[in-house]
Structure 1
Amino acid sequence: MPIDAALALAAEPRSGEISWTPKDVQLYHLGVGAGANPDKHSPATDPDELRYSLESRLHVLPSFATVAGAGSPGVISGLSMPGVDVDLAHVLHGGQAVEIHRPLPVEGTATATSRIAAVYDKGKAAVLVMRTEVIGAEGPLWTNDAQIFVRGEGGFGGDRGPSARREPPAGEPDKVVERPIREDQALLYRLSGDWNPLHADPEFAKVAGFERPILHGLCTYGMTLKAVVDTLLGGDVSRVRSYTTRFAGVVYPGETLRIRMWRGDGRVQVSVTAVDRDDAPVLADTLVEHS
């Protein structure tokens, strides 16, 4: 069987050094839509966007943790862990959670340690939870949990795992914003390190069952967090404590995201849909916890 749950869970963690520069941060921010002016009639850049793109004002959106040091232990390396041998065309990113232990520095070097933390049997699919803990010179920086959904690899009699479903928020959202996606958004975002051809190669996308290349789920993830930070957290990235989501549907470049937000006590619940496809679900069970 391509996935041996016992072997995967018993495998030794993989550690490696990662590093990033302000240029990496800026490229990531551009990949999730930073720099765009919401006022299409104004030729000037929105001054608030300079905190994502100008080195003298730069701060780091916490979702950058999902790509920092790209090429080191992470989601793709999880597919080559002992006990895991799957076809990349059958792989989808099922969900993502990041816990922020301290504000991310604009530039840094750290040690990333990754392991398979869980293997769940969903019947027609298997879900691998790839956990990456990142520690810098001053202590822990962040912990990433990536849920890797592998079609056709379930049914081995394993634990189904916990349900990620949350109770839907009551009442009308406190804020609704729309964010257009550029036609070349996936091509730009993949420069931050996710080279899966599903997001660039039309022929590969067709083999995987899609009419054309789809946007990275983590790109939508970053665009959504940016919207929450900019509209409900006063633009202060240091307030984010954790951010979790379930990828409920695909997004195609050129579409528009509708992001609905409900405020709570130290938390924001979020729902993201595709405007162009009658509000088809994109991100669900999404929660930003903050100070």
Structure 2
Amino acid sequence: MPLDYDLVKAWPIADMRQRFDVRDTMLYNLGVGAGIPDEDGHVDLRFVWERRLVPVPTMAAVLGEGASWMLDPATTISAGNMVHAEQSVIWHAPLPASGEVIARTAVEEIYDKGADRGAILVTRRTLHEADGDRTLATIRGSVFLREDGGFGGSAIAPKPAFPAPSRPPDRRIAMPTRPEQALIYRLSGDYYPLHVDPEFARRIGFDGTILHGLATYGFAARAIIALAAEGDPERLAQLDVRFSAPVYPGETLEFDLWQVDRSTVAFVCRAGNRVALSNGLAKIRAS
């Protein structure tokens, strides 16, 4: 059955209310590598110790995420063969280490890359404090639906590319991942078998289980905070990436950063000889 554009575009996604505590926050932070010592053997205790805990800001991308609606066969989405394509978060207020939030999600658009070329589905989610309804973040994510192209929709690119400058990077950092990184990260709510079942991963074209794109995204946030925000998570205002190649658990992530202007950072992330994250854009608030 081909993808039904009108049905998916108007799919009713229920608001999601989620309560989280310091244990959830520490688990998320560990999932994006916060417990792995840096090259000097240092671990930033703010991300792993409940006495002074702050979340890695990209935790906003998993709160109230609720992507399971795409697995419903009634949507006409071929859910067995989809991968994360792009991610963007804009933070409007600091994320607390514990609390309760409400997420409101809608399908923003579906782009048709053509028959045998797949489709791109873009969602927009706003994250609000349950008490007072203050908006914490606006989250956009796109999913590459490998088997759902050719339904007759628009092929216009979701957003313009943000390529890295051609000059050498201004800063560079390497961050190792653990062999069990995906097994830790999945405990924050993404149980897609691609990240745990090697047979499933090989069946859809990968060499083995891969790290969640949003886990690599969290590593990127930590790199930007360390190198461009003087270690202050609250200064990270926006983070956009394109997921360009898989990362396998245990690989080292290498981030190259370019200071474009006072508030804008471009970056790429490599894993081995692959560009894992491209079109990296970060906005930094003044101190």
Using the size of structure 1 for normalisation, the TM-score is 0.90
Q: 1:112 aligns with which of 76, 84, 103?
A: 103
Is 1:161 the equivalent of 2:156?
yes
8 Å Cα contact 1:251/1:282 also seen in 2: yes
* 1:82 Cα deviation from its structure 2 partner: 5.9
* 1:19 Cα deviation from its structure 2 partner: 1.5
8 Å Cα contact 1:75/1:148 also seen in 2: no
Task: Name the SS for the 1:14 alignment partner.
Answer: coil
Letter of the 1:37 counterpart: P
Q: 1:126 aligns with which of 104, 114, 119?
A: 119
> Matches of 1:114 and 1:79 in 2, distance apart?
16
Match of 1:285 in 2: 279
RMSD: 1.7
8 Å Cα contact 1:114/1:131 also seen in 2: yes
Letter of the 2:268 counterpart: S
Q: Deviations over 1:104-124 (max 9, x none)?
A: 011111211111111111121
Residue segments in structure 1 that go unaligned for 5+ positions in a row: none
Alignment size in residue pairs: 279
> Matches of 1:81 and 1:241 in 2, distance apart?
37
* 1:283 Cα deviation from its structure 2 partner: 0.3
Q: 1:76 aligns with which of 68, 93, 96?
A: 68
Residue segments in structure 2 that go unaligned for 5+ positions in a row: none
Is 1:52 the equivalent of 2:44?
no
- What percent identity do the matched residue pairs reach? 36
Q: Deviations over 1:87-129 (max 9, x none)?
A: 32x1000111111110001111121111111111112111111
8 Å Cα contact 2:36/2:176 also seen in 1: no
> Matches of 1:50 and 1:232 in 2, distance apart?
19
Match of 2:269 in 1: 272
After superposing on structure 2, the runs of 4+ consecutive aligned residues of structure 1 that deviate more than 6 Å are: none
* 1:10 Cα deviation from its structure 2 partner: 2.1
Q: 1:152 aligns with which of 147, 152, 157?
A: 147
Match of 1:227 in 2: 223
> Matches of 1:55 and 1:108 in 2, distance apart?
14
Match of 1:186 in 2: 182
Distance change >3 Å, CA 185–CA 174, structure 1 → 2: same
8 Å Cα contact 1:73/1:113 also seen in 2: no
Match of 1:29 in 2: 29
Letter of the 2:223 counterpart: A
